[in-house]
Amino acid sequence: MPSRLTGQRGLGDSEIDVSDDGGLQDANAGVDKPPLLEARNIQKHFGRVVALRDGNFALRPNEVHAVVGDNGAGKSTLIKIISGVTHADEGELRINGGPVTITTPREARELGIETVYQDLALADHLDASANLFLGREELLGPPLSWFGFLDKKAMRLRTEEAMRRLKIGIQSVDQPVLSLSGGQRQAVAVARAIAWGRRIVIMDEPTAALGVRESSMVLELIKEVRSQGIAVIMVSHNLPEVFAVADRITVLRLGRTIVTLNTAETTLESVVGMMTGAVAAVA
Ligand SMILES: Nc1ncnc2c1ncn2[C@@H]1O[C@H](COP(=O)(O)OP(=O)(O)OP(=O)(O)O)[C@@H](O)[C@H]1O
Ligand SMILES: [Mg+2]
């Protein structure tokens, strides 16, 4: 039976909670404050494989922060540690300067961190509205709620509102997501993350499976998310896309976060060089 998580902010709220930085648009917002999220000296081994040997990462409020690196560099491992899917062997995570433990995806969500996984994890046979509320379905008031009746009308209205807010053009939130294009499906997955994510939305390769037009739609969506006061961590292999949308870029090589750069102050060629080790990392 579906249950409503109590005390959880989300679609019903009139505006998104943006921590204490209140929707700043400037890419350098929060420079003098503790980072919104910080990973320090993270280490992670899988048996004898060292996935992360020195993971350091700082996310500012309201920025799009790309994490790049070659295959096996440790990007997904870092993301999974932040979203509670795997646990670090060493190191610490901090939010707004205070240490936190994130041992499950649910704990991450409770801290306002939502993740869009690469496989999207949408329920194909359900419509956008049902997907948005998957696992968080709204019940009707008692006594109907005692029998598990869902308040579909309320969910649909809130979904339409979320789609409007994100400027996502889906003709009907009632059609099964199976019938949507790849870009629209990605949009629904992103909308779900944004609808519930209060602080941080993490996207692992958000455009990897998409065509050109769909990719640009998702990139617009990422900018829209930032404009709503949420910070975005974006893992990507696509450097032109990273340069189109990210405020800062962290480069991972062989399990080490070797540098974090302001996108405006670097070039695609030097980032490629740092990823491969051909160019020394200079912040
Ligand atoms: N569950 C696991 N078990 C064993 N080894 C793992 C596991 N997950 C990751 N690794 C190893 O850790 C290293 C880092 O993997 P990770 O998936 O973080 O890389 P990545 O940067 O995301 O790579 P890609 O660009 O290919 O997605 C790799 O050597 C990988 O083989
Ligand atoms: Mg990966």
Summarised one tens digit per residue, pLDDT across range 23-47 is: 333 444 445 678 999 999 999 999 9
Angle at 143 between CA 137 and CA 145, to 5 degrees: 10
Query: Residue 203 carries which DSSP code?
Result: E
With a CB cutoff of 8 Å and minimum separation 6, the contacts of 61 are 18, 19, 21, 24, 29, 30, 33, 36, 199, 229, 231
State the distance from the centre of ligand 2 to the C-alpha of 222, rounded, in angstroms: 19
d(CA 87, CA 199): 21
Give per-residue pLDDT as tens, 217-275.
788 888 988 988 899 999 998 999 999 999 999 999 999 999 999 999 999 999 999 99
Q: In terms of DSSP H, where are the helices of 116-263?
A: 128-132, 152-165, 182-196, 212-227, 239-245
CB neighbours of residue 6 within 10 Å: 5
- Our answer on whether the CB atom of 69 is closer than 6 Å to any ligand 1 atom is yes
Which of 53, 75, 78, 253 is the pocket-test mutation for ligand 1 (most atoms within 8 Å of CB)? 75
Give all domains of the chain, ordered by start, each with its CATH number.
Answer: 33-127+154-276 (3.40.50.300)
- Closest alpha carbon to 231 in 83, 98, 66, 5: 66
Asked whether the whole model's pTM tops 0.75, one would answer yes
How high is the pLDDT of residue 138? Answer: 60
Helix axes 182-196, 152-165, angle to 10 degrees: 100
The amino acid that residue 15 corresponds to is E
- How many angstroms separate the Cα of 196 from the Cα of each of 65, 147, 234, 260? 20, 26, 17, 28
Centre of ligand 1 from the C-alpha of residue 72, in Å: 5
